[in-house]
Structure 1
Amino acid sequence: MKTLDFWFDVVSPYAYLAFERLPQALEGCSYRVRYRPLLFGALLSHWGQLGPAEFEPKRAWTMRQVHWLAREAGVELALPAQHPFNPLALQRLALACGEVEELPNRRVVEALFHHVWRGGADANDPARLQALTQTLRPALDPQRNEVKGRLRAHTQEAIDLGLFGVPTIALDGKLFWGLDALPMVRAALQGDAWFDGPWQEAARARPGVRRR
């Protein structure tokens, strides 16, 4: 049985949609999933990028596209009252609920994504956060230094692996970025020979023009 690392930040609507679609996309495959919280903002800072919601034309397109994709997939989605928002409290809560390998299970991650992407409320409203925490009953206080350290370590591990966005699925040392990579993950799980050779050749650097 293969192990997938599903790297996510609840601030990303694409991560939410990928989470919802994962069981259907990989139906019939033998695998287990480890849900790995990180801070998307730290990835952006490391690579010198802006997030898709940080400049207006891309923000507008992103929200139109994710609503369309959700409608096509039959997934409930409502834009939270503030977006982008700081997901720190929710990502810490995910790790505070860690069980096997100190990672959250699918039920916990689902509750976090639904908290953000269903209902259209403020993801960081104190009363809502308190209610969510009471529902999930984390094993650790999300404000403990141990939990904060775990999140920093997860994020640094993701950077060291070469992650630049969410969702990213890691499988057999390969990284699959984005909602639209789910068919590739399925093919890799099924042993498609393309991932033995052409995978590497397709990404071979070909020197070209560089912007300063």
Structure 2
Amino acid sequence: MSAPALRWYFDFISPFAYLQWQRVHTLAHERPVALVPVAFGALLAAHSHKGPAEIPGKREFTYRHVLWQARRAGVPLRFPPAHPFNPLASLRLSVAAGNTPEAVEAIFDWIWGQGQAGDSVEALGPVAAALGVAAETIGSESVKTALRANTESALLAGVFGVPTLSLGPELFWGNDAHDFALDALQHPEILEDPEMQRLKQLPVAVHRRA
């Protein structure tokens, strides 16, 4: 059986994507991983969800939790000047730069490693210059179309949040699911376990009223 194709769906707005990037980058040295920037806000809208940063209390806890995780993992992390922010410029810069590991690394480092703003072409100017991407390219219609296509393909694949690592049709959501994904990659039979299969068809006993 051939190994499944790996795709990593991410948005630079997510600090959890920044944390998982450290591990995805390592995985990409071992086998090809398609890096797919998507608009997290569009995923939330499609599923009628709120992001954790949009819920008071959960927002503050999430920020402290991600900082704790980063420190525990030895990953430098400094929040940008404001969050949530509009990530479209950073996503488009990644697309314009070819979504290479070098480009993704540079943008993540700028926003989450150095704590710089990533909410406009102007704010990302030093990164774009280092990557050799002109400002007008970032805002080009072809780049915008490519980002929309990425997001639409993610929705068609069943992606509901970021970061998500896909192993063929199997989706593993969140930085904390990375070890689960690696285990399934090495031992795909764990997903065929009877209890794993039963969970796919587990009945819903009650529906919460809106």
Q: TM-score, normalised by structure 1?
A: 0.89
Instruction: For 1:170 and 1:120, locate their aligned partners in 2 and report how far apart those are by CA, in whole Å.
Output: 28
| Aligned-residue offset at 1:123 | 2.2
Give the corresponding residue for 1:166.
162
Relative contact order (C-alpha < 8 Å, sep 6+): which is higher? Answer: 1
Which among 186, 192, 199 is matched to residue 196 of structure 1? Answer: 192
Q: What is the identity, as a one-letter code, of the residue corresponding to 1:91?
A: L
Q: What is the identity, as a one-letter code, of the residue corresponding to 1:132?
A: V
Structure 2, gaps ≥5 residues long:
none
Give the corresponding residue for 2:6.
4
- Which deviates further from its counterpart, 178-187 or 37-46? 178-187
| Aligned-residue offset at 1:32 | 1.5
| Aligned-residue offset at 1:119 | 2.4
| Aligned-residue offset at 1:196 | 2.5
Question: How do 1:150-161 residues align onto structure 2 when only pairs under 5 Å count?
Answer: 150-161=146-157
Q: How many residues align?
A: 205
Instruction: For 1:210 and 1:126, locate their aligned partners in 2 and report how far apart those are by CA, in whole Å.
Output: 44
| Aligned-residue offset at 1:56 | 1.6
Matched-pair contact (CA < 8 Å) for 2:12–2:108: yes
Question: How do 1:1-212 residues align onto structure 2 when only pairs under 5 Å count?
Answer: 2-23=4-25, 26=27, 30-98=30-98, 104-124=99-119, 127-138=122-133, 141-198=137-194, 199-212=196-209
Q: What is the identity, as a one-letter code, of the residue corresponding to 2:8?
A: F
Matched-pair contact (CA < 8 Å) for 2:90–2:120: no
Instruction: For 1:173 and 1:185, locate their aligned partners in 2 and report how far apart those are by CA, in whole Å.
Output: 12
| Aligned-residue offset at 1:60 | 0.6
Instruction: For 2:145 and 2:120, locate their aligned partners in 1 and report how far apart those are by CA, in whole Å.
Output: 24
Matched-pair contact (CA < 8 Å) for 1:2–1:32: no
Task: Give the fraction of aligned pairs with identical amino acids, expressed as a percent.
Answer: 40
Instruction: For 2:25 and 2:92, locate their aligned partners in 1 and report how far apart those are by CA, in whole Å.
Output: 25
Instruction: For 1:125 and 1:151, locate their aligned partners in 2 and report how far apart those are by CA, in whole Å.
Output: 16
Q: Structure 1 segments of 4 or more deviating over 4 A?
A: none
Instruction: For 2:121 and 2:138, locate their aligned partners in 1 and report how far apart those are by CA, in whole Å.
Output: 14
Q: What is the identity, as a one-letter code, of the residue corresponding to 1:20?
A: Q
SS in 1 for 2:138: coil
Structure 1, gaps ≥5 residues long:
99-103
Instruction: For 2:160 and 2:180, locate their aligned partners in 1 and report how far apart those are by CA, in whole Å.
Output: 18
Q: CA RMSD in A?
A: 2.0
Q: TM-score, normalised by structure 2?
A: 0.90
SS in 2 for 1:35: strand
SS in 2 for 1:34: strand
